């Protein structure tokens, strides 16, 4: 047994987390208030059987090592050492940060590559066209170019490769760094970046962890980024954070889409701008930002993709309790970089006049459709209801419902009822009926099908088998729940018992995460009262069957309409009989 496994056996996840979080037993799991985001209703679950934790509010999850890393803000080697000492395990076979020597080599190669690219851009004839591009077309000053270490990868097959080989680096080391790739035939390597302006990815400690290259020859793949390496992880990297972090604490963070947006803004005196750089915003990136500020402004491109990116980013940030605003780029400009080039002062004014996130969606919807037209009103309400349903504050929700009702001239009560209905679709409390006074609102969010499976995971094997056989695969509308349902029936039939760890070992890898989450969802004290638990399961089965019947009726009705158009008497008769059969299931 290795030292890590020994530590995992000696330290219980409930004991460790219980030292930081007040945990209460909830069925087979434990729950408490998440230590990683602000919440009033517990959504943080810990499984003693699986030795993992999961927050259903902010999404944080992991084991004892990742918990200690997150809660203490330390590295894995530091967490390993602390837990080893706590467990009384002597670390002998585990090398702390076993990749440290390889990482050092990658940093060296990246540093040399950065110097090489910048030399080509500023001092070599091969960089003349690229120099014209960054200075004249992109409007960058020499000081800005040097500060961001911008360079140029010449349009040549292997100049960088030859340069680095003279420094005695092996092909394996160069490939590992990501600046070269193996030749498709023959020995040796070729440069990964060719004919591209190079933007180094600089980490907080000033080290270059990777690159982004922008073609100046209008070739496919406008931007090409370093692939994942030992030192570069795109889901955790934020371009410009090394320069913006002090200003983030003073002014909040402004998120833009690309490197040039950050660089142009920085040159214009806007120093609190960062970018996710070629990837959708992630929880990891927001966690990093939260160390500096809880105030974020999204200023993405004004095209459809930019609007979509804002919507995704807002949902993540809102869940993590950020104070979110949106800066709306004037429709005449594609992005902040373009705005700065033409109207520098307007860019600062735009950011200063950013609006609360829900105002942004409200204005967008009202501009998109004619509120005087009944269909326009319908589209406005349909677009905004799902967004407003995610608002957690009753005060803020009331404000926007009132505003929407007034603008669209629709009943306020109607809009509020639609919003509440949409919110309840994702709330287990809808399935439980009226809750007893003093009980906590369920935080788990999914469909009735998943709620049923979450309960089945908590049931004894006889109860589970009994209720599983009341349903069929086709009664489930979601592919994931269909697969979990089928796998559960199979496992219990084969084993005659149920063990969560054993079950996970037998299923497809893409089902592991949803199964773990289903198992960890809080269903309160239902299992403590067998009669109440059975009633709840029976109610869920009934609702699933009725929903299944409704879907079948919809399908049959459409087929019947077609048969009537085709005057297919035989099919009309058959479909009518089937409709009667399924309609009777709704009574």
pLDDT tens digits, one per residue of 384-425: 988 888 776 788 889 999 999 999 888 999 999 888 887 654
Contact in structure between 404 and 366 (CB atoms under 8 Å): no
Q: What is the pLDDT of residue 446?
A: 54
Give the closest residue to 193 by CA, choosing from 165, 213, 210: 213
Cβ burial of 220 (10 Å; 0-12, 13-18, 19+) is exposed
**Nearest by Cα to 488 from 453, 523, 459:** 453
Most confident of 236-250, 258-272, 320-334, 558-572: 258-272
Q: For residue 437, what pLDDT is reported?
A: 36
Residue with the bigger pLDDT between 36 and 200: it is: 200
Question: What's the burial of 479, exposed, middle or buried (CB within 10 Å: 0-12/13-18/19+)?
Answer: exposed
pLDDT at 181 (0 to 100): 95
Distance from C-alpha of 129 to C-alpha of 144, rounded to nearest angstrom: 18
Tokens of 214: 């922008």
Mean pLDDT of 540-569: 85
DSSP three-state, residue 53: strand
- Residue 436: the pLDDT is 36
> H-helix or E-strand containing 24?
strand 24-26
Rounded to 5°, angle at Cα 284 from 260 and 71: 140
Residue 151 makes CB contacts below 8 A (sequence gap 6+) with 114, 116, 117, 118, 119, 120, 121, 197, 198, 200
**63 burial type by CB count under 10 A (0-12 exposed, 13-18 middle, 19+ buried):** middle
**Rounded to 5 degrees, what are φ and ψ at 551?**
-65, -40
Q: What percent of the chain has pLDDT over 70?
A: 92
The pLDDT of residue 431 is above 80: no
Residues 253 and 293: beta-carbon distance below 8 Å: yes
For the chain, state the CA radius of gyration: 29
d(CA 532, CA 528): 9
Is residue 141 pLDDT above 70, yes or no? Answer: yes
C-alpha distance from residue 270 to each of 141, 293, 348 (Å): 15, 17, 7
The H or E element that residue 463 is part of is helix 461-468
The pLDDT value recorded for residue 155 is 94
Q: Are 337 and 273 in contact (CB under 8 A)?
A: no
Give the range among 119-128, 220-229, 396-405, 423-432 with minimum mean pLDDT: 423-432
- CA torsion through residues 238, 99, 159, 155, sign: negative
Span 273-286, average pLDDT: 84
For residue 192, the tally of other CB atoms under 10 A from its CB is 22
Task: Return all residues near 463 (Cβ < 8 A) that are at least 6 apart.
Answer: 530, 533, 534, 537
Tell me the per-residue pLDDT of 474-531, one tens digit each, with 9 for 90 and over. Answer: 898 888 888 999 999 999 988 888 888 889 888 888 888 888 888 988 877 777 788 8
CB crowding 369-397: b at 16 or more within 10 Å, else e: bebeeeebbebbbebbbebbbbbeeeeeb
> What per-residue confidence (pLDDT) applies to 442?
34
Mean pLDDT of the chain: 86
CA–CA separation, 306 and 323 (whole Å): 20
Question: Residue 113 above 80 pLDDT?
Answer: yes
CA angle 285/290/294 to nearest 5° reads: 125
E-state strands within 234-272: 253-256
Among 318, 336, 317, 338, residue whose Cα is nearest residue 327: 336
Where are any strands of DSSP class E within 257-329? 273-275, 295-298, 323-326
Which residues are bridge partners to 182 per DSSP? 189
Please indicate, yes or no, whether the overall pTM of this predicted structure exceeds 0.85: no
CA torsion through residues 252, 404, 336, 210, sign: positive
Tokens linked to 340: 């700065």
| Rounded (10°) angle between helices 394-408 and 357-368 | 20
The helix (run of H) or strand (run of E) holding residue 552 is helix 530-566
């Amino acid at each position: 047994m290795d030292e890590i496994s020994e530590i995992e056996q000696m330290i219980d996840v409930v004991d460790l987390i219980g030292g930081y979080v007040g945990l209460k037993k909830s069925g087979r799991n434990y729950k408490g208030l998440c230590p990683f985001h602000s919440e009033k209703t517990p959504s943080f679950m810990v499984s003693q059987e699986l030795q993992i934790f999961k927050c259903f509010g902010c999404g944080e999850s992991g084991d004892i090592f990742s918990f200690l890393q997150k809660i203490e803000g330390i590295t894995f080697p530091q967490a390993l050492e602390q837990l080893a000492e706590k467990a009384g395990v002597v670390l002998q076979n585990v090398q702390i940060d076993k990749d440290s020597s390889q990482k050092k080599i990658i940093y060296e190669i990246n540093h040399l590559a950065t110097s090489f690219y910048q030399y080509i851009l500023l001092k070599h004839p091969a960089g003349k066209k690229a120099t014209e591009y960054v200075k004249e077309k992109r409007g960058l000053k020499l000081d800005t170019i040097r500060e961001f270490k911008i360079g140029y990868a010449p349009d040549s097959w292997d100049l960088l490769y030859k340069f680095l080989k003279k420094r005695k680096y092996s092909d394996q080391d160069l490939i590992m760094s990501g600046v070269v790739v193996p030749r498709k035939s023959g020995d040796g390597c070729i440069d990964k970046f060719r004919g591209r302006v190079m933007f180094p990815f600089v980490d907080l400690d000033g080290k270059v962890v990777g690159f982004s290259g922008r073609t100046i020859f209008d070739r496919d793949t406008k931007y090409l980024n370093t692939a994942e390496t030992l030192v570069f992880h795109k889901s955790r990297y934020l371009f410009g954070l090394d320069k913006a972090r002090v200003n983030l604490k003073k002014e909040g963070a402004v998120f833009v889409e690309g490197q040039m947006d950050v660089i142009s803004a920085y040159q214009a005196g806007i120093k609190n701008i960062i970018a996710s750089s070629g990837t959708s915003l992630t929880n990891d990136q927001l966690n990093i930002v939260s160390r500096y500020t809880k105030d974020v402004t999204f200023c993405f491109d004004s095209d459809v993709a930019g609007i979509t990116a804002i919507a995704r980013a807002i949902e993540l940030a809102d869940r993590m309790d950020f104070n979110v605003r949106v800066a709306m780029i004037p429709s005449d400009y594609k992005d902040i970089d373009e705005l700065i080039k033409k109207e520098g002062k307007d860019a600062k004014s735009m950011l200063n006049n950013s609006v609360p996130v829900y105002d942004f969606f409200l204005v967008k919807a009202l501009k998109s459709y004619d509120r005087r037209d009944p269909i326009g009103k319908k589209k406005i309400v349909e677009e905004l209801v799902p967004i407003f349903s995610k608002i957690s504050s009753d005060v803020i929700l009331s404000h926007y419902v009132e505003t929407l009702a007034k603008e669209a001239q629709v009943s306020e009560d109607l809009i509020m009822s639609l919003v509440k209905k949409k919110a309840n679709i994702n709330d287990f409390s809808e399935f439980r009926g009226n809750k007893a006074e003093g009980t906590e609102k369920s935080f788990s969010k999914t469909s009735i099908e998943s709620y049923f499976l979450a309960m089945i995971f908590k049931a004894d094997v006889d109860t589970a088998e009994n209720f599983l056989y009341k349903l069929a695969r086709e009664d489930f509308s979601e592919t994931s729940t269909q697969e979990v349902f089928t796998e559960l029936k199979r496992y219990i039939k084969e084993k005659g018992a149920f063990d969560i760890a054993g079950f996970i070992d037998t299923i497809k890898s893409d089902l592991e995460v949803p199964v773990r989450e289903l198992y960890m969802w809080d269903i309160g004290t239902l299992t403590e009262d067998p009669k109440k638990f059975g009633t709840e399961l029976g109610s869920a089965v009934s609702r699933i069957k009725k929903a299944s019947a409704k879907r079948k009726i919809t399908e049959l009705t459409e087929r019947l309409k077609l048969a009537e158009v085709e005057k297919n008497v035989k099919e009309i008769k058959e479909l009518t009989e089937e409709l009667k059969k399924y309609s009777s299931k709704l009574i």
